[in-house]
Structure 1
Amino acid sequence: MTNRKGLVIEPMSKRVMNLSGFLDQSARRFPNEIALVWGEKSWSWSHLQRRVSAMAAALQKQFGIVMGDRIVVQSQNCNQMFESMFACFKLGAVWVPANFRQTPGEVAYLVKTSGAKGMICGHLFPDHAAASREACPELEFIIAIGKAEFGEDYDDIIDRFVGETVPVAAVEHDDPCWFFFTSGTTGRPKAAVLTHGQMGFVVTNHLCDLMPDTTHKDASLVVAPLSHGAGIHQLTQVARGAKTILLPTEKLDVGEAWRLIEQWRVSNMFTVPTILKMLTEHPAVHLRDHSSLRYVVYAGAPMYRADQIHALKTLGSVIVQYFGLGEVTGNITVLPPAEHHLEDKDDAHPGTCGYVRTGMQISIQDDAGNEVPAGTTGEICVIGPAVFAGYYNNPEANAKAFRYGWFRTGDLGHMDEAGFVFITGRASDMYISGGSNVYPREIEEKLLTHPDINEVAVLGIPDPVWGEVGLAVCVARADRSPDGKEIIAWLDGKLARYKLPKRVVFWPEMPKSAYGKIAKKLIREELIKRNELDEPDSNSGAH
């Protein structure tokens, strides 16, 4: 092999640790300590390892799974879903988790797109199993979590294969381990290919930047679906032998979450901004002891400053923000507890999502791929070991996602002289009004400082005069009835006039994606259903 400088380099092995090794290491070091808790049940590390080994043996010997095969998992959080991750990894197979809130048709699309050989499906989702079989006749088997007509029960299979083991697959750096499906807020979901080598770096990076000093004495509460960011977070816990606590119910029970935090002395958890907002606004936060919390991580969407300040006042200096798409498995920026400030002083970098993660590099680029000066808005691009291997079987998407080796996030923002990054919004969210670029996030931040507004989303809509204008969809706080005209009048003077939304509408609740995010694609669809997208209104902003 010859590198670009003409130096001759002897080829080296690309072998890396199989990610199932994290479980094996913790089971060896802490065999009798609690690994996983779900409701009244708990499993030690050695017990969890035996169950994973049994399922891996079954997948190989009964169902014929070999290295590279894909297995879709449709289930709410449970021990079986958690175990299936490691069983797939051990065989060198690819874990393909679906968000359990997706529709049968959406999951069937994931099965078809991934080319799955098999499926593990919760017994509460027979329609998902049926739709997947219909869409993908080549699907060879479905295993049911719980008793169901569509497949053999997962635990019955465990009982039959308990005590059996299979060799851990020898994997190389670029061997796929996880298809991380994007949320599809602007189109069909795409399968981001995560690899064993990449994810080994991600786990190390999470422990370095998000949760330093995590050990087997720690406990982590899961309040989001394991199919995405929470699953990566929990893989990190396994690497350190920290116990994982699952909520006992399908829906987020905030009161129960705080009870479990107190009971298990939970030290860290992964959330998204909407969940963190719910946790800190619930009265139980003041009734339960949460002094054990050291790292309350939030990611997946920007957190509005008003909500951030409330969380800081409620929980203290324990919140950690990171910015990163599934394609970079969260590893773009970090804002640790010490960089979260209550006051908006200049040296506190108010509004930042943090600085670059260890081992990664960020570039703010213009449309031609040139890096722009500090303080200039452009597209946030990134390189480094956490960047995914590409989208599965989607060369067109890969061509759009990479430029000169940089992964293009599709997020707009700028970086200050100190290296702190500020997100302006998604490139697809920006609209042009009267020839000026308008970034909805800036307007949303201002609206959320109004005492009557709880949630907000601003979208650009067509306008015969200005090309596009803003429409603000708001959710009012309890027992408040704000008026749209008054809201716009209140904004006047706080923003340039061309940024003022032309209309404000109020809804009882905001449409959210299966991942708990306020999804503008869903909001636009709802506006069309309600016939509010083009509805004339006397609430008018002005240029």
Structure 2
Amino acid sequence: MIPTSNLASMLLQTARRFPDRPAIVWRDTIWTWATFRERVQAAAGALAASGVRHGDRVLLHARNSNAVLETMFASWMIGATWVPTNFRLTPPEVAYLAQSSGAAVHIFDSAYPDHAAAAKAENPACRLEVVIGEGAGPLNWEMMAAHAGPIIRPADVDRDHPAWFFYTSGTTGRPKAGVLTHGQMDYVVCNHLCDLMPGTTENDASLVVAPLSHGAGVHALPQVARGAPTILLSGERLDCDEAWRLVEKHRVTNMFTVPTILTMLARHEAVDRYDHSSLRYVIYAGAPMYRADQVHALRKLGKVLVQYFGMGEVTGNITVLPPYLHSENDAEMPVGSCGVPRVGMEVAILDEAGQILDPGATGEICVRGPGVFAGYHDNPEATVKATAHGWFHTGDLGHVDERGFLYITGRASDMYISGGSNVYPREVEEALLLHPDVMEACVLGVPHEKWGEAGIAVLVMKDGAATGQVELLAHLEGKLAKYKWPHSFAFWPELPKSGYGKVTKREIRRLLQKDV
């Protein structure tokens, strides 16, 4: 065993230094670091008293709230693995995550009873159900956070002990749990503070405008390490007016966004009504950003933009383009680049044989270093494939220039990014093919002014079928999260195929562009 610091120790150390300073602000309530720590320790004690053990998985499906962060640290206090889901997923999607993770505990927001029921039905490993908010039946999170038998010290953990199952998907569209460990995440926190938000202290403040289940949750950890409060929007939907009001009220200094959200914020009229001069780092990642939107954000916010390129399996730690490399003037910045390798990480462009290519040559973007995950849970084949030749393979295509700046030029898979969220065409195609009138389906990501990319579904319908877009979208209700829905539909008599009978997406894309 190679011991490391349990991630929960960050909370305990910060609460010791700044007990009375704000830790979480949500709606009209402020939780101090001391209160946050006490609730986490109590909830950890309640989980342990209910039979939750070191190494168990704790599934969470909830909207952003103080309880989300509390479940994270309470899980770690007892050496359990946190398994958060995107609250926008449908009941069958969440049920699959519960089953595939083998979660021993289900914690559900009371707004999602159908999700909770589906997860319980699909996951026989579940031994404990907890509800966040109002609701009868399962144990309530507020009761747990007031438990009389708190756990005071975090459990001992190995450097490679799982801390977080970060669900992502491969080209098959089936979600896979990337295993993030305590030792890896210790590095990630340090690297975020080094490369994304240098100089962060207890005098800073962070605004959360994205689900804490993924990148925003990772971003919250450096705030805990430094004692900076985390400010939450009142609801689950982005309210640009409220966001800018909170920036002014709490003197927010940093936030994590995706290009779609950043563009919405920068183009909203409220940006000119509230004081946002406190901002030092507005971090965006997850998708390409149109140059015009980038320039507009710089004009409105100043030189505070930070771009990074990353994936769940590398916890965001691939490249960074800091504020000083952003400019409205094309001649003063590497336009189109997502930056240079993060400290401690190495980026290379590999050919199909695993050989490193020279600067300027296009190949697959690969990365290695302490930010890389420990593999996929219960999926050794996918792990071997993703880490071939001693590198983690991103599936993205690109090149580096002579100075080491990385440029992404395409994707090795069909996956596209809509509004900062990954969409996997096969998953959408399979859902569409469940409609009795659909014979063949092909889904592609195409450029979209608002979302960066959006899906277009090219369908072959059964003879005589009168089914249209309205009916098809109604068919997807409850089967797929809405961000995965196609933005438009095309109906063709047949799909082009190769000599092997496979649908040729490249030809479909060419024909779509020809029709424009």
Range class of TM-score, shorter chain? 0.7 to 0.9
Q: Does 1:14 pair with 2:2?
A: yes
Deviation at 1:149, TM superposition (A): 3.0
Deviation at 1:156, TM superposition (A): 1.9
Deviation at 1:473, TM superposition (A): 5.9
Describe the SS at the equivalent of 1:255.
Answer: helix
Whole-angstrom CA distance in 2 between matches of 1:50 and 1:21: 13
Matched ranges for 1:36-55 at <5 A? 36-55=24-43
The residue aligned with 1:280 is: 266
The residue aligned with 2:243 is: 257
Describe the SS at the equivalent of 2:142.
Answer: helix
Q: 1:523 aligns with which of 476, 479, 486?
A: 486
The superposition leaves residues 424-451 of structure 1 with CA deviations (integer Å, 9 ceiling, x where unpaired) of: 1221249xxxxxxxxx99xx9xxxxxxx
Q: Give the letter for the 1:383 counterpart.
A: R
Q: Does 1:328 pair with 2:314?
A: yes
Q: Give the letter for the 1:285 counterpart.
A: V
* Cα-Cα RMSD: 3.1
Seen in structure 2, the aligned counterparts of structure 1 residues 178 and 538 have a Cα distance that, compared at 3 Å, is: closer
Q: Does 1:415 pair with 2:388?
A: no
Describe the SS at the equivalent of 1:190.
Answer: strand
Deviation at 1:541, TM superposition (A): 3.5
The 10-residue stretch of structure 1 (397-406 or 291-300) with the greater mean CA deviation from structure 2: 397-406
The 10-residue stretch of structure 1 (323-332 or 130-139) with the greater mean CA deviation from structure 2: 130-139
Q: 2:105 aligns with which of 108, 118, 122?
A: 118
The residue aligned with 2:18 is: 30
Deviation at 1:127, TM superposition (A): 0.3
Matched ranges for 1:177-188 at <5 A? 177-182=163-168, 187-188=173-174
The residue aligned with 1:269 is: 255
Task: Decide whether the 8 Å contact of 1:50 with 1:162 is kept in 2.
Answer: no
Structure 1 residues not aligned, in runs of 5+: 1-12, 431-439, 445-456, 460-467, 478-506, 511-516
Seen in structure 2, the aligned counterparts of structure 1 residues 415 and 60 have a Cα distance that, compared at 3 Å, is: same
Seen in structure 2, the aligned counterparts of structure 1 residues 131 and 429 have a Cα distance that, compared at 3 Å, is: closer
The residue aligned with 1:361 is: 346
| CA radius of gyration, larger in | 1
Q: Give the letter for the 1:359 counterpart.
A: G
The residue aligned with 1:102 is: 89
Seen in structure 2, the aligned counterparts of structure 1 residues 185 and 156 have a Cα distance that, compared at 3 Å, is: farther
Q: Give the letter for the 1:15 counterpart.
A: P
Deviation at 1:236, TM superposition (A): 1.0
Whole-angstrom CA distance in 2 between matches of 1:107 and 1:235: 25
Whole-angstrom CA distance in 2 between matches of 1:322 and 1:283: 27
Seen in structure 2, the aligned counterparts of structure 1 residues 316 and 191 have a Cα distance that, compared at 3 Å, is: same
Deviation at 1:172, TM superposition (A): 1.1
Whole-angstrom CA distance in 1 between matches of 2:369 and 2:445: 38
Identity of aligned residues (%): 54
Q: Does 1:390 pair with 2:352?
A: no
Whole-angstrom CA distance in 2 between matches of 1:326 and 1:362: 16
The superposition leaves residues 39-96 of structure 1 with CA deviations (integer Å, 9 ceiling, x where unpaired) of: 00011000100000000000001x2111110000000001111101000111110000
Q: Give the letter for the 1:193 counterpart.
A: V
Q: 1:236 aligns with which of 211, 219, 222?
A: 222
Task: Decide whether the 8 Å contact of 1:30 with 1:241 is kept in 2.
Answer: yes
The residue aligned with 1:292 is: 278
Q: TM-score, normalised by structure 2?
A: 0.83
Q: 2:360 aligns with which of 365, 375, 381?
A: 375
Whole-angstrom CA distance in 2 between matches of 1:198 and 1:254: 34
Seen in structure 2, the aligned counterparts of structure 1 residues 472 and 86 have a Cα distance that, compared at 3 Å, is: closer
The 10-residue stretch of structure 1 (286-295 or 141-150) with the greater mean CA deviation from structure 2: 141-150
Whole-angstrom CA distance in 1 between matches of 2:233 and 2:494: 38
Q: Give the letter for the 1:527 counterpart.
A: F
Q: 2:80 aligns with which of 90, 93, 114?
A: 93
Task: Decide whether the 8 Å contact of 1:527 with 1:533 is kept in 2.
Answer: no
Q: Does 1:215 pair with 2:204?
A: no
Task: Decide whether the 8 Å contact of 2:45 with 2:149 is kept in 1.
Answer: no
Q: Give the letter for the 2:283 counterpart.
A: V
Whole-angstrom CA distance in 2 between matches of 1:145 and 1:536: 45
Deviation at 1:403, TM superposition (A): 1.2
The residue aligned with 1:541 is: 514
Q: Give the letter for the 2:257 counterpart.
A: T
Q: Does 1:143 pair with 2:130?
A: yes
The superposition leaves residues 399-439 of structure 1 with CA deviations (integer Å, 9 ceiling, x where unpaired) of: 22011210000011100000000011221249xxxxxxxxx
Q: Give the letter for the 1:20 counterpart.
A: A
The residue aligned with 2:119 is: 132
Whole-angstrom CA distance in 2 between matches of 1:357 and 1:309: 24
Q: Give the letter for the 2:486 counterpart.
A: I
The residue aligned with 1:176 is: 162
Query: Number of residue pairs matched?
Result: 458
The residue aligned with 1:68 is: 55
Q: Give the letter for the 1:174 counterpart.
A: D
Deviation at 1:280, TM superposition (A): 0.6
Whole-angstrom CA distance in 1 between matches of 2:26 and 2:407: 38
Describe the SS at the equivalent of 1:303.
Answer: coil
Describe the SS at the equivalent of 1:353.
Answer: strand
Deviation at 1:529, TM superposition (A): 8.0
The residue aligned with 1:503 is: none
Whole-angstrom CA distance in 1 between matches of 2:264 and 2:373: 32
The 10-residue stretch of structure 1 (175-184 or 275-284) with the greater mean CA deviation from structure 2: 175-184
Seen in structure 2, the aligned counterparts of structure 1 residues 537 and 410 have a Cα distance that, compared at 3 Å, is: closer
Structure 2 residues not aligned, in runs of 5+: 426-441, 452-469, 474-480, 497-507
Task: Decide whether the 8 Å contact of 1:50 with 1:163 is kept in 2.
Answer: no
Describe the SS at the equivalent of 1:108.
Answer: helix
Describe the SS at the equivalent of 2:145.
Answer: helix
Q: Give the letter for the 1:360 counterpart.
A: M
Deviation at 1:472, TM superposition (A): 4.9
Seen in structure 2, the aligned counterparts of structure 1 residues 183 and 522 have a Cα distance that, compared at 3 Å, is: farther
Whole-angstrom CA distance in 1 between matches of 2:195 and 2:154: 29
The superposition leaves residues 494-525 of structure 1 with CA deviations (integer Å, 9 ceiling, x where unpaired) of: xxxxxxxxxxxxx9xx9xxxxxx997x7438x
Q: 1:402 aligns with which of 387, 391, 394?
A: 387
Whole-angstrom CA distance in 2 between matches of 1:130 and 1:536: 40
Task: Decide whether the 8 Å contact of 2:321 with 2:339 is kept in 1.
Answer: yes
Matched ranges for 1:468-483 at <5 A? 472=446, 474=448
Deviation at 1:259, TM superposition (A): 0.3
The residue aligned with 2:190 is: 204
Whole-angstrom CA distance in 2 between matches of 1:225 and 1:285: 22
Whole-angstrom CA distance in 2 between matches of 1:186 and 1:237: 35
Deviation at 1:528, TM superposition (A): 6.1
**Structure with more contact order per residue of length (Cα contacts < 8 Å, sep ≥ 6):** 2
The superposition leaves residues 180-238 of structure 1 with CA deviations (integer Å, 9 ceiling, x where unpaired) of: 00156750111000000000000000000000000001100000000000000001100
